[in-house]
Structure 1
């Protein structure tokens, strides 16, 4: 995620029908306390989450073999038993958002009936795109369409050490054109409506209960209609602590993917060894850069880096579109959207799946990852969406970023598929996931320059994810404050990098995926309850 502008929160407006006295009744349980070194901690959320993360880091470093075994067992155990839950929950989030669009509740305005938008449509759309999945788009932009295309042609894939036929929806073996459509449809399924519905639920809850109800900008506030004053006690502490864990491990997973891809790109261009040591050095160095950005603050750090990255990403996208198979990309973009609509019911079916490598190895992990990022991205979206109606908010949050993600996948993935199908380039199809982007760029003009830009994009996405993620976690642990002391942000930034390092050492990407699923599972329950709280909150506004 990248933040593209100043997102300071205007004062809440509108009535407070549910919240009769703001949150003053429970304020004794919700105060923040200024502790040593000038930190403004929210007990016990800061202490519990901080100490737990420190203990986790020391455990993984002290007992690496035991940790690796545990992580290796955890991921398949969770995905094989709870894939139906993740898929069913994601479907509910999409249906809930569609219900709000057509419901009279969609007329509610975030910030009160007299609120006006803080940003123009163009600026708002740009920031919705900026809130996207930067490292994920770089890592999977080529690799996922290629993977689904190859396996739907009757190929196989390795998952958790076992070779498993994918054959989604009965497969498309032997039909090359349909395999391309199915591969792109499966990719869009993972980057379209479902993940953005997850983000929309959290963003809407935060915006509604902050701007309309006068509550602090933290996850527990959304549960006031269900829990009342208990949200300021241990129920709220548990909710916010789960949000911290989910966000931290979701970020660590993204940082791990970024490090492995940056390492692969450096090896391809400059012969830098591919090893855990190199990845640890990369994470350490880039976390140090993120610390500088954190200290400089939102405008002096995150905003500048985000603008640089957005410009570079657009130039790289435009370059590949122009020098690549332009006509095939543009026609494939439209055809891929049609294939997505056609295959969506089967792809989203949570029960009776035989394509376990796809439903468990890909989809269940993705939904857990998006859920873990939802406090992170949702808080950013909430902070820039005041003044919009709920209907306007949902339509734009679902459609604008989804279309941008589809365009990105169509340009990069479509180019790679054409290189394999039309030109017989095997280097792209045979490369590991983290190297496919650079192999694809290697077949285009100016490959050295574009591959280097690709490495820079991965690194800067890494930095902006780390520093803006530190700001979000700090806001949650400081009781909803957006101007907590800098030492707290430094603490979270350091430990985001530390968690990514120990997970890579303790089991590689499988360990990162295991932890994001384990934290995403309980937080998915939180999001399901959040839908009911949003409904009650919107009903009170309409009343």
Structure 2
């Protein structure tokens, strides 16, 4: 036990008080019940699924109202708070406390850099790369008009030459903004807090532990229960959004490549089948399932990326990365200004939703990153978590987006990307529209479908392990039946959200859970700073 007086700067690490409230009991069907977090979370999730299935129309209207209110009235709040997260992370890098090693001065990393990056890649990016890699650069170039940049495509379909380069750069920069430092700063704070208070302070591997400097022993009571329950639902709805988007894109890919119909029923079947595969990975655990799938996923993704880069106009793709990076560096401040001249549709329909989505994913990705990051120094951790995934995303979206933009500008009358993104707005078909103009279209599309499904599986199994850890009081070896329960619940929530309102329902679930959790993460910045100050250096 250490002195926790204000003058000492130390954090109290005796967590025996109230520990019986989080240790849980082994239930009759083999569940390690973390009472009441497991019971409340499980029953509420099941109740949500049942009510949405019984009253789909009313649920759809409610989801739409929640989404519209959150993104139109609170867009400024999400932008300000995520800006703060970026500044906080960058400031930590240059402070002496960044020399603290997660796990203590003698801790050694459990995974190599390649293994570490592979798991970051699969868990933290996933389906978004495939769904938005083509869609978003093209959409921002032609439709949303961030910072007042005009579309290069006139109403009659002709190209307005003087608008081309500015619109191309802005489409890529706006996409990089949503997938770069801001989003990864959200993950970094959550993962750093969990690593610090678990590995260095000896507290349970649970979200509530991050608030010990503020709540003290009350963190083992109802305050802690509420925090963990919010984390569970943020994770469930954040994952459900990704799973729903992945099912929509896989369904669209099967339609494009093989002529299968697009319908909600087909997407439900995809979710069921992929969830079944995820159950096997969940049963095998982190090293036996998630790690192996993550490495397979990374290998397939690299090969798919190289195919697009080399089979398409290679220099155009590489120029897309460079153009986007330069524009992103130049315009990151005006793009992140909540009260600037960014178009309302862009700020509310895209940025506010994205920041709520990243925040809702924070417990999931943060816990997953923390589990594989022991032994890194704080400085190494923040730099790698912020920069490495961001650069990978910039390269991917710069190449995919750059090639798709070029296809539109060269042949706007025949481009399927233009037809799907600008004319009819079928976002799930945007990637396949770009692949249509490359050789081996059907083969490439099949690989893209398979990659989306594997991303789907890795997100589901990783998320199941994280929710299981939270509801088991921080244990990382909870019984297998409990992991399976949460994997099934994730799939069911994705299904009922699709049935109850499609994309608007998915967005509503994210924004509703992301809002309260963003406030918790703001407090978490304070607790991380206090925790690092108390560490020997």
Smaller-chain TM-score bracket: over 0.9
Following superposition of structure 1 onto structure 2, how do residues 262-281 of structure 1 map, counting pairs within 5 Å?
A: 262-281=250-269
Structure 1 residues 14-42: Cα deviation after superposition (integer angstroms, max 9, x where no partner)? x9984545311231322211111111010
Partner of 1:252: 240
Bigger mean CA deviation after superposition, 196-205 or 309-318: 309-318
Cα separation, 1, equivalents of 2:428 and 2:367: 29
Post-superposition offset of 1:281: 1.2
Structure 1 unmatched runs, 5+: 1-14, 152-165
Structure 1 residue 293 and structure 2 residue 281: aligned?
yes
1:433-448 matches, within 5 Å, as 433-448=427-442
* CA shift in 2, pair 1:360/1:120, >3 Å: same
Q: Spell out the pairing of 1:115-126 with structure 2 (5 A cutoff).
A: 115-126=107-118
Structure 1 residue 504 corresponds to structure 2 residue 482: no
- Confirm or deny: 8 A CA contact 1:207 1:382 kept in the other structure: yes
Identify the match of residue 475 of structure 1 among 469, 479, 498. Answer: 469
Q: Report if the CA contact (8 A) 1:265-1:438 is conserved.
A: yes
1:9 matched residue in structure 2: none
Which residue of the partner structure matches residue 170 of structure 1?
Answer: 148
Q: Tell me, yes or no, if structure 1 residue 228 matches structure 2 residue 216.
A: yes
Does the alignment pair 1:145 with 2:133? no
1:55-66 aligned at under 5 Å gives the runs: 55-66=47-58
Q: Are 1:218 and 2:206 matched, yes or no? A: yes
Residue 514 (structure 2) aligned to one of 514, 520, 523 = 520
Q: Which position in structure 1 is the counterpart of 2:72?
A: 80
Task: Select which of 421, 426, 448 maps to 2:415.
Answer: 426
1:537 equivalent to 2:526? Answer no
Q: Is it true that 1:378 corresponds to 2:366 in the alignment?
A: yes
Q: 2:105 aligns with which of 98, 113, 117?
A: 113
Residue 423 (structure 2) aligns with: none
1:170 is displaced (CA, Å) by: 2.0
Deviations 1:261-311 (A, max 9, x none): 011011111111111111111111111121222223333322332222211
CA contact (8 A) 1:353 1:359 kept: no
Aligned to 1:11: none
Total equivalences in the alignment: 515
Counterpart position of 2:18: 26
Q: Is the 8 Å Cα contact of residues 123 and 458 (structure 2) preserved in structure 1? A: no
Question: Structure 2 matches for 1:339-488, cutoff 5 A?
Answer: 339-353=327-341, 355-424=343-412, 425-431=414-420, 432-488=426-482
Whole-Å Cα distance in 2 between the matches of residues 469 and 176 of structure 1?
A: 41
Separation of aligned partners in 2, 1:18 and 1:47:
34
Residue deviations 1:210-234 (CA, integer Å, cap 9, x gap): 1100011110001001110010001
Is 1:41 the counterpart of 2:30? The answer is no
Q: Deviations over 1:340-392 (max 9, x none)?
A: 01111111011255611110100010011111111111111111211211111
Q: Deviations over 1:72-117 (max 9, x none)?
A: 2111111111101111111000000011011112111111122232
Aligned counterparts of 2:13 and 2:300: Cα–Cα separation in 1: 48
